[in-house]
Chain A
Amino acid sequence: MKQLNFFKHNKSFYSVIFLTLAIFMVSCKKDSDKKDPGNIEIEFDNIAVVNGIERQLTLVSPGSTDYGYTNGMSQTFNINLLRYYITNIKLEGPNGEVFTDHVHVSSSGTEGIYLVDEAQPSSGSVILDNVPAGEYNKITFTVGVEENGVTEGAAGGNLDPATCKMFWNWNSGYIALKFEGQSNVSAGGTTGTETLEGVTKGIAYHIGGWKTIDGTAFVYNNKTMSFTFDTKAKVEKGLQPAVHMVFDVIKLFSSKNLIDFTGNNNVHKPVDGKPAAENIPGAFAFDHIHQ
Protein backbone atom coordinates (compact mmCIF):
# COMPACT_ATOMS: atom_id res chain seq x y z
CA MET A 1 0.00 0.00 0.00
CA LYS A 2 2.80 2.32 0.96
CA GLN A 3 4.56 1.49 -2.25
CA LEU A 4 1.51 2.44 -4.26
CA ASN A 5 1.28 5.75 -2.50
CA PHE A 6 4.85 6.48 -3.33
CA PHE A 7 4.25 6.17 -7.04
CA LYS A 8 0.97 7.99 -6.86
CA HIS A 9 2.55 11.00 -5.30
CA ASN A 10 5.56 10.92 -7.51
CA LYS A 11 4.37 11.56 -11.00
CA SER A 12 7.49 13.57 -11.51
CA PHE A 13 9.41 10.32 -11.01
CA TYR A 14 8.01 9.00 -14.30
CA SER A 15 8.73 12.26 -16.03
CA VAL A 16 12.37 12.03 -14.99
CA ILE A 17 12.67 8.49 -16.34
CA PHE A 18 11.03 9.51 -19.59
CA LEU A 19 13.24 12.56 -20.00
CA THR A 20 16.37 10.55 -19.25
CA LEU A 21 15.41 7.99 -21.88
CA ALA A 22 14.71 10.75 -24.35
CA ILE A 23 18.10 12.33 -23.73
CA PHE A 24 19.79 8.96 -24.16
CA MET A 25 18.01 8.41 -27.46
CA VAL A 26 18.93 11.85 -28.77
CA SER A 27 22.58 11.45 -27.81
CA CYS A 28 22.66 7.99 -29.40
CA LYS A 29 21.35 9.42 -32.62
CA LYS A 30 23.93 12.19 -32.62
CA ASP A 31 26.76 9.74 -32.06
CA SER A 32 25.66 7.31 -34.72
CA ASP A 33 27.47 9.09 -37.58
CA LYS A 34 30.61 9.46 -35.42
CA LYS A 35 32.84 6.50 -34.53
CA ASP A 36 33.80 5.84 -30.91
CA PRO A 37 37.31 6.70 -29.74
CA GLY A 38 39.98 4.01 -29.75
CA ASN A 39 43.54 3.28 -28.72
CA ILE A 40 46.81 3.92 -30.47
CA GLU A 41 50.19 2.51 -29.54
CA ILE A 42 53.36 4.55 -29.92
CA GLU A 43 56.38 2.30 -29.86
CA PHE A 44 59.81 3.80 -29.10
CA ASP A 45 62.41 1.38 -30.33
CA ASN A 46 66.06 2.05 -29.56
CA ILE A 47 68.36 0.95 -32.35
CA ALA A 48 71.79 1.54 -33.83
CA VAL A 49 72.38 1.76 -37.53
CA VAL A 50 75.53 -0.28 -38.14
CA ASN A 51 76.82 -0.49 -41.72
CA GLY A 52 73.47 0.80 -42.94
CA ILE A 53 71.50 -1.90 -41.12
CA GLU A 54 69.12 -1.14 -38.22
CA ARG A 55 70.08 -3.30 -35.27
CA GLN A 56 68.50 -3.74 -31.86
CA LEU A 57 70.73 -2.55 -29.04
CA THR A 58 72.79 -4.87 -26.89
CA LEU A 59 73.46 -3.75 -23.33
CA VAL A 60 76.72 -4.86 -21.72
CA SER A 61 77.87 -4.85 -18.08
CA PRO A 62 79.76 -1.80 -16.79
CA GLY A 63 83.45 -2.09 -17.57
CA SER A 64 82.98 -4.26 -20.64
CA THR A 65 85.61 -3.76 -23.35
CA ASP A 66 83.41 -5.37 -25.96
CA TYR A 67 82.71 -2.37 -28.18
CA GLY A 68 79.90 -3.04 -30.62
CA TYR A 69 79.25 0.50 -31.91
CA THR A 70 81.16 3.29 -33.58
CA ASN A 71 80.36 6.99 -33.24
CA GLY A 72 80.70 9.65 -35.94
CA MET A 73 84.37 10.11 -35.10
CA SER A 74 85.25 6.44 -35.61
CA GLN A 75 85.53 5.92 -31.85
CA THR A 76 84.14 2.59 -30.67
CA PHE A 77 81.79 2.32 -27.70
CA ASN A 78 79.29 0.12 -25.90
CA ILE A 79 76.18 0.74 -23.81
CA ASN A 80 75.33 -0.04 -20.18
CA LEU A 81 72.23 2.06 -19.82
CA LEU A 82 69.85 4.14 -21.92
CA ARG A 83 66.79 5.85 -20.48
CA TYR A 84 64.75 8.86 -21.51
CA TYR A 85 61.47 10.60 -20.75
CA ILE A 86 58.77 11.11 -23.37
CA THR A 87 56.11 13.68 -22.46
CA ASN A 88 53.47 15.94 -24.03
CA ILE A 89 52.49 13.57 -26.82
CA LYS A 90 50.22 15.15 -29.41
CA LEU A 91 48.71 13.50 -32.49
CA GLU A 92 47.27 15.33 -35.47
CA GLY A 93 45.49 14.25 -38.62
CA PRO A 94 44.94 15.72 -42.08
CA ASN A 95 41.22 16.33 -41.40
CA GLY A 96 41.71 18.38 -38.29
CA GLU A 97 41.97 15.47 -35.84
CA VAL A 98 43.86 16.47 -32.71
CA PHE A 99 44.66 14.39 -29.66
CA THR A 100 46.66 15.87 -26.78
CA ASP A 101 47.76 13.34 -24.18
CA HIS A 102 46.79 14.45 -20.68
CA VAL A 103 49.80 15.19 -18.45
CA HIS A 104 49.22 15.04 -14.72
CA VAL A 105 51.67 14.86 -11.82
CA SER A 106 50.74 13.89 -8.25
CA SER A 107 52.11 12.03 -5.25
CA SER A 108 50.17 8.90 -6.19
CA GLY A 109 51.42 8.75 -9.77
CA THR A 110 51.87 10.40 -13.12
CA GLU A 111 49.92 10.45 -16.36
CA GLY A 112 51.34 11.33 -19.73
CA ILE A 113 54.97 11.04 -18.59
CA TYR A 114 56.65 7.94 -20.01
CA LEU A 115 60.06 6.59 -19.08
CA VAL A 116 61.63 4.52 -21.84
CA ASP A 117 64.29 2.19 -20.46
CA GLU A 118 66.31 0.00 -22.82
CA ALA A 119 66.70 -2.56 -20.01
CA GLN A 120 62.91 -2.95 -19.90
CA PRO A 121 61.69 -3.51 -23.46
CA SER A 122 58.00 -3.10 -22.54
CA SER A 123 58.70 0.46 -21.37
CA GLY A 124 59.06 1.53 -25.00
CA SER A 125 55.40 0.82 -25.69
CA VAL A 126 53.10 3.74 -24.92
CA ILE A 127 49.39 3.02 -25.32
CA LEU A 128 47.20 6.09 -25.60
CA ASP A 129 43.52 5.50 -24.97
CA ASN A 130 40.38 7.48 -25.64
CA VAL A 131 41.87 8.90 -28.82
CA PRO A 132 39.09 10.43 -30.99
CA ALA A 133 38.30 8.30 -34.01
CA GLY A 134 39.95 9.47 -37.20
CA GLU A 135 43.16 9.36 -39.16
CA TYR A 136 46.45 10.62 -37.78
CA ASN A 137 49.63 11.36 -39.67
CA LYS A 138 51.67 13.56 -37.35
CA ILE A 139 53.15 13.13 -33.87
CA THR A 140 54.73 15.74 -31.61
CA PHE A 141 56.43 14.93 -28.31
CA THR A 142 59.02 16.24 -25.87
CA VAL A 143 62.07 14.39 -24.62
CA GLY A 144 62.44 15.53 -21.01
CA VAL A 145 60.25 16.63 -18.13
CA GLU A 146 59.13 20.25 -18.13
CA GLU A 147 59.38 22.56 -15.14
CA ASN A 148 55.93 21.55 -13.84
CA GLY A 149 57.44 18.14 -13.04
CA VAL A 150 59.39 19.99 -10.34
CA THR A 151 56.98 22.73 -9.31
CA GLU A 152 54.20 20.25 -8.54
CA GLY A 153 56.38 18.85 -5.76
CA ALA A 154 57.53 15.33 -4.91
CA ALA A 155 55.71 13.02 -7.31
CA GLY A 156 55.09 9.31 -7.67
CA GLY A 157 54.93 6.98 -10.66
CA ASN A 158 57.50 7.59 -13.37
CA LEU A 159 58.72 10.73 -11.57
CA ASP A 160 59.29 9.09 -8.17
CA PRO A 161 62.79 10.39 -7.37
CA ALA A 162 63.53 7.22 -5.40
CA THR A 163 62.95 4.85 -8.30
CA CYS A 164 63.23 6.75 -11.59
CA LYS A 165 67.04 7.06 -11.49
CA MET A 166 66.56 10.26 -13.49
CA PHE A 167 66.54 12.88 -10.72
CA TRP A 168 69.24 15.46 -10.09
CA ASN A 169 69.19 16.15 -6.37
CA TRP A 170 71.76 19.00 -6.40
CA ASN A 171 69.90 20.95 -9.07
CA SER A 172 66.46 19.55 -8.52
CA GLY A 173 64.80 18.34 -11.68
CA TYR A 174 64.72 15.45 -14.04
CA ILE A 175 67.37 14.26 -16.46
CA ALA A 176 65.82 14.11 -19.93
CA LEU A 177 68.05 11.37 -21.30
CA LYS A 178 70.66 9.25 -19.60
CA PHE A 179 73.28 7.27 -21.49
CA GLU A 180 76.16 5.33 -19.92
CA GLY A 181 78.75 3.03 -21.44
CA GLN A 182 82.42 2.67 -22.27
CA SER A 183 84.55 3.88 -25.14
CA ASN A 184 88.02 2.70 -26.12
CA VAL A 185 89.17 6.32 -26.29
CA SER A 186 87.89 7.44 -22.86
CA ALA A 187 90.49 8.11 -20.20
CA GLY A 188 87.97 6.97 -17.56
CA GLY A 189 87.18 8.64 -14.27
CA THR A 190 83.53 9.06 -15.14
CA THR A 191 80.69 8.48 -12.72
CA GLY A 192 77.11 7.49 -13.27
CA THR A 193 74.33 5.18 -12.20
CA GLU A 194 76.09 2.08 -13.48
CA THR A 195 79.39 3.40 -14.75
CA LEU A 196 80.90 3.88 -11.32
CA GLU A 197 84.14 5.46 -10.34
CA GLY A 198 86.48 2.46 -10.66
CA VAL A 199 85.32 1.68 -14.20
CA THR A 200 87.96 2.51 -16.78
CA LYS A 201 87.00 4.00 -20.15
CA GLY A 202 83.55 5.05 -18.94
CA ILE A 203 81.38 7.59 -20.77
CA ALA A 204 78.34 9.11 -19.06
CA TYR A 205 75.88 11.54 -20.64
CA HIS A 206 73.21 12.73 -18.24
CA ILE A 207 71.40 15.24 -20.43
CA GLY A 208 68.96 17.57 -18.73
CA GLY A 209 68.12 21.20 -18.02
CA TRP A 210 64.49 22.30 -17.71
CA LYS A 211 64.72 25.62 -15.97
CA THR A 212 64.97 28.99 -17.60
CA ILE A 213 66.50 31.64 -15.39
CA ASP A 214 66.19 35.08 -16.89
CA GLY A 215 69.49 36.71 -17.63
CA THR A 216 71.62 33.62 -17.05
CA ALA A 217 73.23 31.02 -19.22
CA PHE A 218 71.09 28.27 -17.74
CA VAL A 219 70.57 25.74 -20.48
CA TYR A 220 67.15 24.33 -21.32
CA ASN A 221 67.86 20.94 -22.86
CA ASN A 222 64.40 19.42 -23.26
CA LYS A 223 63.62 18.91 -26.94
CA THR A 224 60.23 18.96 -28.63
CA MET A 225 59.98 17.43 -32.08
CA SER A 226 57.38 16.54 -34.69
CA PHE A 227 57.31 13.77 -37.28
CA THR A 228 54.94 13.21 -40.18
CA PHE A 229 53.98 9.66 -41.13
CA ASP A 230 54.09 8.50 -44.75
CA THR A 231 50.85 6.59 -44.10
CA LYS A 232 47.92 7.33 -41.84
CA ALA A 233 47.08 5.59 -38.58
CA LYS A 234 43.34 4.92 -38.47
CA VAL A 235 41.90 5.10 -34.95
CA GLU A 236 38.46 3.95 -33.84
CA LYS A 237 36.95 1.60 -31.31
CA GLY A 238 38.26 -1.90 -31.94
CA LEU A 239 41.34 -0.77 -33.84
CA GLN A 240 44.72 -0.20 -32.21
CA PRO A 241 47.26 0.92 -34.77
CA ALA A 242 50.91 0.97 -33.68
CA VAL A 243 53.17 3.85 -34.69
CA HIS A 244 56.74 2.66 -34.70
CA MET A 245 59.31 5.35 -33.84
CA VAL A 246 63.04 4.61 -33.71
CA PHE A 247 65.80 6.24 -31.71
CA ASP A 248 69.25 5.76 -33.26
CA VAL A 249 71.87 5.87 -30.52
CA ILE A 250 74.64 6.48 -33.10
CA LYS A 251 72.91 9.71 -34.10
CA LEU A 252 72.74 10.81 -30.45
CA PHE A 253 76.46 11.41 -30.94
CA SER A 254 76.47 12.66 -34.51
CA SER A 255 73.18 14.00 -35.92
CA LYS A 256 74.04 17.70 -35.48
CA ASN A 257 77.16 17.87 -33.35
CA LEU A 258 79.97 15.33 -33.43
CA ILE A 259 80.51 14.11 -29.87
CA ASP A 260 84.11 13.28 -29.08
CA PHE A 261 84.43 10.55 -26.43
CA THR A 262 87.94 11.67 -25.49
CA GLY A 263 86.68 14.80 -23.69
CA ASN A 264 83.51 16.14 -22.03
CA ASN A 265 82.55 12.51 -21.54
CA ASN A 266 81.35 12.80 -17.94
CA VAL A 267 78.28 14.95 -18.45
CA HIS A 268 76.27 15.78 -15.33
CA LYS A 269 75.11 19.33 -15.79
CA PRO A 270 72.94 21.13 -18.30
CA VAL A 271 75.62 23.20 -20.00
CA ASP A 272 77.85 20.15 -20.61
CA GLY A 273 74.97 18.20 -22.13
CA LYS A 274 73.96 20.87 -24.64
CA PRO A 275 75.77 19.47 -27.74
CA ALA A 276 74.34 15.96 -27.23
CA ALA A 277 70.91 17.41 -26.41
CA GLU A 278 70.93 19.16 -29.76
CA ASN A 279 71.43 15.76 -31.39
CA ILE A 280 68.29 14.27 -29.81
CA PRO A 281 65.72 15.44 -32.41
CA GLY A 282 67.88 14.05 -35.20
CA ALA A 283 68.24 10.70 -33.44
CA PHE A 284 64.49 10.02 -33.53
CA ALA A 285 62.69 9.04 -36.72
CA PHE A 286 59.32 7.72 -37.80
CA ASP A 287 59.71 4.18 -39.07
CA HIS A 288 56.37 2.57 -39.95
CA ILE A 289 52.79 1.97 -38.85
CA HIS A 290 51.13 -1.36 -38.11
CA GLN A 291 47.46 -0.79 -38.79
Chain B
Amino acid sequence: MKRKIALLIGATFIIFSCGKDDVVTKTSPYSLIRPDYFPEITYPLENNPITKEGFELGKKLFNDPRLSLDNSVACSNCHVKGVAFTDPQHNPSVGIFNQIGTRNAPMIANMAFQSEFLWDGGVSHLDFVPVFAIENQKEMGEELHHVVYKLNKIPEYAPLFKAAFPGIDTITSPYMLRAISQYMLLLVSDKSKYDRVQKGEDVFSASELTGKAVFDQKCAACHSGALFTNYEYMNNGLDLVFMDVGRELISALASDLGKFKVPSLRNIMLTAPYMHDGRFKTLDEVLEHYRSE
Protein backbone atom coordinates (compact mmCIF):
# COMPACT_ATOMS: atom_id res chain seq x y z
CA MET B 1 0.00 0.00 0.00
CA LYS B 2 2.80 2.37 0.97
CA ARG B 3 4.61 1.56 -2.24
CA LYS B 4 1.48 2.38 -4.19
CA ILE B 5 1.23 5.73 -2.48
CA ALA B 6 4.87 6.41 -3.21
CA LEU B 7 4.28 5.57 -6.83
CA LEU B 8 1.26 7.82 -6.90
CA ILE B 9 3.26 10.68 -5.39
CA GLY B 10 6.02 10.04 -7.90
CA ALA B 11 3.55 10.13 -10.76
CA THR B 12 2.06 13.35 -9.43
CA PHE B 13 5.51 14.90 -9.39
CA ILE B 14 6.12 13.93 -12.97
CA ILE B 15 2.80 15.42 -13.98
CA PHE B 16 3.58 18.59 -12.08
CA SER B 17 7.05 18.95 -13.53
CA CYS B 18 5.63 18.49 -17.03
CA GLY B 19 3.27 21.31 -16.25
CA LYS B 20 6.14 23.46 -15.07
CA ASP B 21 8.03 22.94 -18.33
CA ASP B 22 4.98 24.10 -20.23
CA VAL B 23 4.96 27.28 -18.21
CA VAL B 24 8.58 27.94 -19.09
CA THR B 25 7.89 27.64 -22.84
CA LYS B 26 4.80 29.84 -22.78
CA THR B 27 4.94 32.89 -25.00
CA SER B 28 3.80 36.39 -24.10
CA PRO B 29 1.26 37.76 -26.54
CA TYR B 30 1.69 41.17 -28.17
CA SER B 31 -1.26 42.94 -29.69
CA LEU B 32 -1.51 44.78 -32.93
CA ILE B 33 -3.73 47.79 -32.37
CA ARG B 34 -5.63 49.16 -35.36
CA PRO B 35 -6.62 52.82 -35.10
CA ASP B 36 -10.33 52.98 -35.93
CA TYR B 37 -9.77 55.20 -38.99
CA PHE B 38 -7.34 52.63 -40.52
CA PRO B 39 -8.36 50.00 -43.05
CA GLU B 40 -9.08 46.48 -41.77
CA ILE B 41 -6.22 44.16 -40.88
CA THR B 42 -5.56 41.89 -43.86
CA TYR B 43 -2.91 39.67 -42.30
CA PRO B 44 -4.36 36.38 -40.93
CA LEU B 45 -3.17 36.89 -37.35
CA GLU B 46 -4.92 33.71 -36.22
CA ASN B 47 -2.34 31.71 -38.22
CA ASN B 48 0.60 33.57 -36.71
CA PRO B 49 -0.29 35.16 -33.37
CA ILE B 50 2.22 37.88 -32.47
CA THR B 51 4.26 37.26 -29.34
CA LYS B 52 7.10 39.09 -27.62
CA GLU B 53 9.38 36.15 -28.40
CA GLY B 54 8.35 36.01 -32.06
CA PHE B 55 8.69 39.78 -32.47
CA GLU B 56 12.17 39.81 -30.88
CA LEU B 57 13.29 36.89 -33.04
CA GLY B 58 11.91 38.60 -36.14
CA LYS B 59 13.76 41.78 -35.23
CA LYS B 60 17.03 39.87 -34.83
CA LEU B 61 16.55 38.12 -38.18
CA PHE B 62 15.66 41.42 -39.85
CA ASN B 63 18.99 42.86 -38.69
CA ASP B 64 21.12 39.78 -39.40
CA PRO B 65 23.34 40.01 -42.52
CA ARG B 66 23.86 36.25 -42.40
CA LEU B 67 20.55 36.00 -44.25
CA SER B 68 22.50 37.07 -47.37
CA LEU B 69 24.94 35.11 -49.53
CA ASP B 70 28.12 36.95 -48.49
CA ASN B 71 26.88 37.77 -44.97
CA SER B 72 26.93 41.46 -45.86
CA VAL B 73 23.31 42.46 -46.43
CA ALA B 74 20.61 42.34 -43.76
CA CYS B 75 17.03 43.45 -44.42
CA SER B 76 17.96 46.48 -42.35
CA ASN B 77 20.70 47.53 -44.80
CA CYS B 78 18.11 48.89 -47.19
CA HIS B 79 15.24 49.29 -44.72
CA VAL B 80 16.84 51.56 -42.14
CA LYS B 81 14.88 52.11 -38.95
CA GLY B 82 15.66 55.83 -38.52
CA VAL B 83 14.15 56.72 -41.89
CA ALA B 84 10.92 54.73 -41.77
CA PHE B 85 12.68 51.57 -42.97
CA THR B 86 13.81 52.99 -46.29
CA ASP B 87 17.29 53.53 -47.74
CA PRO B 88 18.54 57.11 -47.55
CA GLN B 89 22.08 56.44 -48.77
CA HIS B 90 21.72 54.62 -52.02
CA ASN B 91 19.69 55.16 -55.10
CA PRO B 92 18.68 52.46 -55.86
CA SER B 93 19.81 50.25 -52.99
CA VAL B 94 23.01 48.21 -52.94
CA GLY B 95 22.93 44.45 -52.49
CA ILE B 96 25.54 41.71 -52.16
CA PHE B 97 28.95 42.25 -53.77
CA ASN B 98 28.00 45.94 -53.99
CA GLN B 99 25.56 45.31 -56.81
CA ILE B 100 23.15 48.12 -57.61
CA GLY B 101 19.51 47.10 -57.51
CA THR B 102 16.77 48.22 -59.86
CA ARG B 103 14.07 49.53 -57.55
CA ASN B 104 13.92 51.94 -54.63
CA ALA B 105 13.61 50.21 -51.24
CA PRO B 106 10.01 50.86 -50.16
CA MET B 107 8.99 51.91 -46.66
CA ILE B 108 8.05 49.14 -44.26
CA ALA B 109 5.12 50.37 -42.21
CA ASN B 110 1.50 49.38 -41.74
CA MET B 111 2.12 46.07 -43.49
CA ALA B 112 -0.74 44.45 -41.56
CA PHE B 113 -3.25 46.52 -43.53
CA GLN B 114 -2.05 45.75 -47.05
CA SER B 115 -2.70 42.76 -49.22
CA GLU B 116 -0.16 43.15 -52.05
CA PHE B 117 3.50 43.91 -51.57
CA LEU B 118 6.50 45.21 -53.54
CA TRP B 119 6.31 47.88 -56.23
CA ASP B 120 4.57 45.49 -58.63
CA GLY B 121 2.33 43.81 -56.05
CA GLY B 122 3.70 40.38 -56.99
CA VAL B 123 3.78 39.12 -53.44
CA SER B 124 0.34 38.66 -51.94
CA HIS B 125 1.22 37.60 -48.39
CA LEU B 126 3.57 39.38 -45.98
CA ASP B 127 5.30 36.10 -45.01
CA PHE B 128 6.68 35.75 -48.51
CA VAL B 129 8.07 39.28 -48.90
CA PRO B 130 11.45 38.38 -47.34
CA VAL B 131 11.80 35.39 -49.71
CA PHE B 132 11.84 37.83 -52.62
CA ALA B 133 14.64 39.92 -51.11
CA ILE B 134 16.66 36.93 -49.86
CA GLU B 135 16.60 35.14 -53.22
CA ASN B 136 16.92 38.22 -55.45
CA GLN B 137 20.35 38.01 -57.11
CA LYS B 138 20.96 41.74 -56.68
CA GLU B 139 19.67 42.01 -53.13
CA MET B 140 20.63 39.23 -50.73
CA GLY B 141 21.46 36.58 -53.35
CA GLU B 142 20.88 33.61 -51.06
CA GLU B 143 18.75 30.52 -51.41
CA LEU B 144 16.13 30.16 -48.74
CA HIS B 145 17.10 26.57 -47.92
CA HIS B 146 20.70 27.68 -47.34
CA VAL B 147 19.61 30.48 -45.01
CA VAL B 148 17.69 27.87 -43.00
CA TYR B 149 20.80 25.65 -43.00
CA LYS B 150 22.92 28.54 -41.71
CA LEU B 151 20.43 29.45 -38.98
CA ASN B 152 20.44 25.84 -37.75
CA LYS B 153 24.24 26.08 -37.45
CA ILE B 154 24.22 29.30 -35.40
CA PRO B 155 23.85 28.19 -31.74
CA GLU B 156 22.17 31.38 -30.53
CA TYR B 157 19.15 30.87 -32.79
CA ALA B 158 17.87 27.48 -31.57
CA PRO B 159 16.68 28.72 -28.14
CA LEU B 160 15.16 31.84 -29.68
CA PHE B 161 13.15 29.82 -32.19
CA LYS B 162 12.06 27.39 -29.48
CA ALA B 163 10.95 30.29 -27.29
CA ALA B 164 8.97 31.87 -30.12
CA PHE B 165 7.48 28.63 -31.46
CA PRO B 166 7.29 26.14 -28.57
CA GLY B 167 7.47 22.54 -29.63
CA ILE B 168 9.62 22.83 -32.74
CA ASP B 169 12.89 20.92 -32.85
CA THR B 170 14.54 22.29 -35.98
CA ILE B 171 14.42 25.67 -37.65
CA THR B 172 12.47 25.61 -40.90
CA SER B 173 11.59 28.41 -43.28
CA PRO B 174 7.94 28.92 -42.26
CA TYR B 175 8.98 29.73 -38.68
CA MET B 176 11.71 32.08 -39.84
CA LEU B 177 9.32 33.87 -42.19
CA ARG B 178 6.52 34.08 -39.62
CA ALA B 179 8.91 35.59 -37.06
CA ILE B 180 10.00 38.27 -39.53
CA SER B 181 6.33 38.95 -40.26
CA GLN B 182 5.61 39.38 -36.56
CA TYR B 183 8.28 42.07 -36.44
CA MET B 184 7.04 43.84 -39.55
CA LEU B 185 3.39 43.65 -38.47
CA LEU B 186 4.13 45.77 -35.43
CA LEU B 187 5.85 48.50 -37.45
CA VAL B 188 2.75 50.67 -37.37
CA SER B 189 2.90 54.31 -38.38
CA ASP B 190 0.07 56.01 -36.48
CA LYS B 191 1.70 58.74 -34.43
CA SER B 192 1.98 61.60 -36.93
CA LYS B 193 0.29 64.93 -36.58
CA TYR B 194 -2.27 63.68 -39.09
CA ASP B 195 -3.08 60.87 -36.65
CA ARG B 196 -3.37 63.24 -33.72
CA VAL B 197 -5.80 65.35 -35.72
CA GLN B 198 -7.77 62.21 -36.66
CA LYS B 199 -8.02 61.34 -32.98
CA GLY B 200 -9.15 64.87 -32.13
CA GLU B 201 -5.99 65.54 -30.12
CA ASP B 202 -4.61 68.30 -32.33
CA VAL B 203 -5.59 70.67 -35.15
CA PHE B 204 -3.94 71.54 -38.45
CA SER B 205 -2.37 74.99 -38.72
CA ALA B 206 -3.61 77.44 -41.33
CA SER B 207 -0.80 76.59 -43.77
CA GLU B 208 -1.31 72.87 -43.20
CA LEU B 209 -5.00 73.33 -44.00
CA THR B 210 -4.08 75.14 -47.21
CA GLY B 211 -1.77 72.25 -48.11
CA LYS B 212 -4.49 69.76 -47.28
CA ALA B 213 -6.94 71.55 -49.58
CA VAL B 214 -4.50 71.31 -52.49
CA PHE B 215 -3.63 67.71 -51.61
CA ASP B 216 -7.29 66.68 -51.43
CA GLN B 217 -7.89 68.19 -54.83
CA LYS B 218 -4.77 67.07 -56.67
CA CYS B 219 -3.35 64.00 -54.91
CA ALA B 220 -5.97 62.27 -52.79
CA ALA B 221 -7.59 60.42 -55.69
CA CYS B 222 -4.68 57.97 -55.54
CA HIS B 223 -3.12 58.77 -52.17
CA SER B 224 -6.37 58.23 -50.32
CA GLY B 225 -7.41 57.17 -46.84
CA ALA B 226 -5.43 56.88 -43.65
CA LEU B 227 -2.55 55.10 -45.39
CA PHE B 228 -2.53 57.58 -48.29
CA THR B 229 -2.83 54.96 -50.99
CA ASN B 230 -5.68 53.41 -52.93
CA TYR B 231 -3.56 50.24 -53.39
CA GLU B 232 -3.78 50.55 -57.16
CA TYR B 233 -1.12 50.43 -59.85
CA MET B 234 -0.62 53.63 -61.81
CA ASN B 235 1.59 55.07 -64.49
CA ASN B 236 2.42 58.56 -63.25
CA GLY B 237 4.01 59.69 -66.50
CA LEU B 238 7.66 59.26 -65.58
CA ASP B 239 8.67 57.53 -68.82
CA LEU B 240 7.58 56.86 -72.36
CA VAL B 241 9.94 53.91 -72.73
CA PHE B 242 9.97 51.57 -69.73
CA MET B 243 13.20 50.15 -68.35
CA ASP B 244 11.08 48.26 -65.83
CA VAL B 245 7.75 46.76 -66.97
CA GLY B 246 6.34 47.03 -63.42
CA ARG B 247 2.91 45.56 -62.83
CA GLU B 248 2.79 44.02 -66.29
CA LEU B 249 5.27 41.38 -65.09
CA ILE B 250 2.65 40.17 -62.64
CA SER B 251 -0.67 40.76 -64.40
CA ALA B 252 0.48 39.89 -67.93
CA LEU B 253 -1.78 42.73 -69.02
CA ALA B 254 -0.37 45.07 -71.67
CA SER B 255 -2.20 48.01 -70.11
CA ASP B 256 -0.23 47.48 -66.90
CA LEU B 257 3.09 48.18 -68.64
CA GLY B 258 5.11 50.66 -66.59
CA LYS B 259 2.60 50.82 -63.76
CA PHE B 260 3.72 50.69 -60.13
CA LYS B 261 1.91 50.53 -56.82
CA VAL B 262 0.74 53.85 -55.44
CA PRO B 263 3.00 54.20 -52.38
CA SER B 264 1.84 55.31 -48.96
CA LEU B 265 2.88 58.89 -48.21
CA ARG B 266 3.34 58.32 -44.50
CA ASN B 267 6.77 59.46 -43.25
CA ILE B 268 7.26 61.12 -46.63
CA MET B 269 9.84 63.63 -45.33
CA LEU B 270 12.05 60.70 -44.27
CA THR B 271 11.73 58.36 -47.23
CA ALA B 272 13.79 60.05 -49.96
CA PRO B 273 14.65 59.21 -52.65
CA TYR B 274 11.27 59.01 -54.34
CA MET B 275 9.53 56.98 -57.07
CA HIS B 276 9.93 53.25 -57.83
CA ASP B 277 13.47 53.79 -59.06
CA GLY B 278 14.40 56.56 -56.63
CA ARG B 279 15.01 59.08 -59.40
CA PHE B 280 13.92 62.15 -57.40
CA LYS B 281 16.08 63.14 -54.45
CA THR B 282 13.73 65.71 -52.95
CA LEU B 283 10.02 66.27 -52.55
CA ASP B 284 10.39 69.48 -54.56
CA GLU B 285 11.49 67.40 -57.55
CA VAL B 286 8.45 65.17 -57.05
CA LEU B 287 6.09 68.15 -56.97
CA GLU B 288 7.84 69.67 -59.98
CA HIS B 289 7.27 66.43 -61.92
CA TYR B 290 3.54 66.52 -61.22
CA ARG B 291 3.34 70.28 -61.78
CA SER B 292 4.96 70.08 -65.23
CA GLU B 293 3.06 67.00 -66.41
Contacts and interface: CB of A to CB of B under 8 A. Distances in A.
A275 interface: no
Contact of B44 (A153, A162, A211, A219): A153
Contact of B131 (A108, A161, A218): A161
Main secondary structure of the interface of A (DSSP, over half): loop
Interface stretch (B121-129, B189-197, B216-224, B264-272): B121-129
Interface in B246-293: 249-253, 256
B174 A160 contact: yes
Contact of A154 (B136, B177, B251, B253): B177
Contacts of B123: 169-172
Contacts of A269: 249, 252
B178 interface: yes
Contacts of A107: 47-48, 165, 172, 174-175, 178
Interface stretch (B23-31, B68-76, B80-88, B143-151): B143-151
Contact of A151 (B44, B136, B173): B44
B255 to A, nearest CB: 9
B125 A150 contact: yes
B276 to A, nearest CB: 15
B110 interface: no
Nearest to B149: A162
Contacts, number: 106
A162 B145 contact: yes
Interface string A144-162: 0000001111111000111
A106 interface: yes
Given A169-B132, A269-B249, A153 B122 contact: no
Q: Size class of A's contact patch?
A: 20 to 34
Interface in A83-103: none
Given A163-B145, A172-B131, A172-B132, A218 B165 contact: no
30 contacts: A107-B47, A108-B168, A108-B174, A151-B124, A153-B47, A153-B177, A153-B181, A154-B125, A154-B176, A154-B178, A156-B173, A160-B174, A161-B128, A162-B147, A163-B173, A169-B123, A169-B128, A169-B132, A169-B134, A169-B144, A170-B249, A171-B250, A172-B123, A172-B125, A173-B124, A211-B124, A216-B252, A216-B256, A217-B252, A219-B252
Given A151-B124, A162-B145, A163-B172, 16 more contacts: A107-B172, A107-B178, A151-B44, A152-B44, A153-B48, A153-B127, A162-B147, A167-B131, A169-B123, A170-B123, A172-B122, A211-B124, A218-B250, A218-B252, A219-B252, A270-B252
